[in-house]
Amino acid sequence: MSFDVDPGSYRHLRLELDGEVAWIVLEVDEDAGLTPGYDLKLNSYDLGVDIELHDAVQRLRFEHPEVRAVVITGGPGRVFCAGANIRMLAQSDHAWKVNFCKFTNETRNAIEDATAHSGQTYLAAVNGTAAGGGYELALACERIILIDDGSTAVSMPEVPLLGVLPGTGGLTRLTDKRGVRKDLADVFATRSEGVRGRTALAWGLVDEVVPRSRFEETVRRRAREAAARSSRPAGAAPIPLPPLRPDGYVYETVAARPDGRQVTITVRGPRPGDDGQGWLLRMTRELDDLILRLRTNEPELGTWVIRTEGDIDAVLAAGARPHAEIGHFYKRTLKRLDVTSRSLIALIEPGSCFAGPLLELALACDRQYMLDDPGRPAAIQFSRANFGDYPMGNGLSRLAARFHAEPGRPAALERLAGRRIGPAEALELGLVTFAPDDLDWDDEVRLALEERAALSPDALTGLEANLRFAGPETMETKIFARLAAWQNWIFTRPGAAGPEGALRRYGTGRRPVYDRRRA
């Protein structure tokens, strides 16, 4: 799987630019599914459709600084989006279904992040039926405008029709984002036909219902109003996003080298003569692409060993005052790493450059090993960015999450910004897990990696997901933890995925057979 696309290669959506307003029009090519065996009818989507949507959201932030409002709508016809393609889900293996849901969640979160931080307010112009993931796409937008034609409905039919949950945050966004009462949300999520017009408005499922005769005019007016309220700076220059073109898993600033059941990922810092902002953007794009490709294509590489190489001062200079969009992109990339179901081990060695933005990579890992060799000193260094510029999904910096039991510790550590921290001090401060000397380093690292590979991958996934997110729950952590965990489990149950389950029997005219025992 490749995630590197551009508007010239889109097959499923159309990007239209109209001054301060952009339109993402869903016109899914039903014959262009990623794999044989299903047709993408009724603007349903698979991973290929969502890759294009992810790319469009990203490009609007970087390449179109003039855009202040974005409208997502369906193409000609009476369907906004029918959600994830059921035939695709039924024939996919468990890992594909879970990764698919994770990526679609990350794309919806990117839409909300653009509204919150980039002054690009997203509006959903629901001009036809929005079912399942289609309505969840609308929920990611700041405002939902529903056509009131007597037949168009919003619905979440996953529970009554498919025996699964809405897979991209819908249940959580109903209650946490839109404040829908839990009894009404219960009715809505178990009513396969959905809710129309004035009832959808009264229940808080949409923000506005408009007759067909005034629908387009109203959407355009609401988009202009959103653009007028935008905080997006005027006159900013576009930042192009050219193709990445890696050689396998080797990029210009990032390289991954698989070895058995693990992969070593090395991030290279800026070289002399590199433009710091250019390096930071390229590194972020390459790391983001690599995470996605390894997550999707290499499920048996269960341990990711994270290394860096380069000059600490150059990394600190590159991350000192990043362009706002580059900073937000790196934040989202780190969040993608946080929710990746792989063991993450940082190796901090002589020649490493875990400082400022790259120190976040080490802090994101489950363990950090730092070589203590006086003859070849290794060091880490804080910058201002480590104290809140790249928050996790729980809203905390990685340092605040690491020292959750000591809320005053991050402020004390911030006073150390500006100087190198060696292995002994890093260990004493709790910034690394172990600091072996040069005699024990090879054996300790080797044994740790071998022991990790011998453990149950399923148990490790659960362990890591529970330990990485200390502190408060947010809508984002609920979507990626509580909701995703239940969906992960349901995807393996016979009521959904078995030969007589709802996913398999959908559309056949035969009722699913459920195991009636509550587990």
Instruction: Kindly report, residue by residue over 418-438, the tens digit of the pLDDT.
Output: 899 999 999 999 999 999 999
- The confidence band for 164, taking pLDDT boundaries of 50, 70 and 90, is very high
311 & 440 share domain? yes
Give the model confidence (pLDDT) of 63-80 as tens digits: 999 999 999 999 987 899
Residue 515 lies in a domain: no
Residue 244 lies in a domain: no
In this prediction, residue 27 carries a pLDDT of 96
Tokens, residue 322: 């990043």
456 & 496 share domain? no
CATH number for 111 = 3.90.226.10
Tokens, residue 183: 């009894």
Residue 245 lies in a domain: no
Domain final residue pick, 194, 229, 264: 229
pTM of the model: 0.95
447 & 492 share domain? no
How many whole angstroms separate alpha carbon 313 and alpha carbon 319? 10
Residue 31 lies in a domain: yes
In this prediction, residue 519 carries a pLDDT of 81
Helix/strand/coil for 514: coil
Spatial CA neighbour of 76 closest among 127, 131, 5, 112 = 127
Helix/strand/coil for 15: strand
Dump the DSSP string for 235-296: TPPP--------BTTB-SSEEEEEETTEEEEEEE-PPTT--HHHHHHHHHHHHHHHHHHHHH
Residue 242 lies in a domain: no
134 & 153 share domain? yes
Determine the structural domain holding residue 377 and report its residue range. 254-467
In this prediction, residue 505 carries a pLDDT of 92
406 & 488 share domain? no
280 & 151 share domain? no
Helix/strand/coil for 69: strand
How many whole angstroms separate alpha carbon 124 and alpha carbon 200? 14
- The confidence band for 278, taking pLDDT boundaries of 50, 70 and 90, is very high
| Residue 387 CB contacts under 8 Å (≥ 6 apart), including other chains | 397, 399, 410, 413, 414, 417
Q: Is a pLDDT exceeding 90 seen at residue 96? A: yes
Residue 514 lies in a domain: no
Residue 241 lies in a domain: no
374 burial (CB, 10 Å; 0-12 / 13-18 / 19+) is: exposed
461 & 488 share domain? no
How many whole angstroms separate alpha carbon 23 and alpha carbon 71? 5
41 & 68 share domain? yes
Alpha helix (H) residue ranges in 369-477:
398-402, 409-414, 423-429, 441-454, 457-467, 475-477
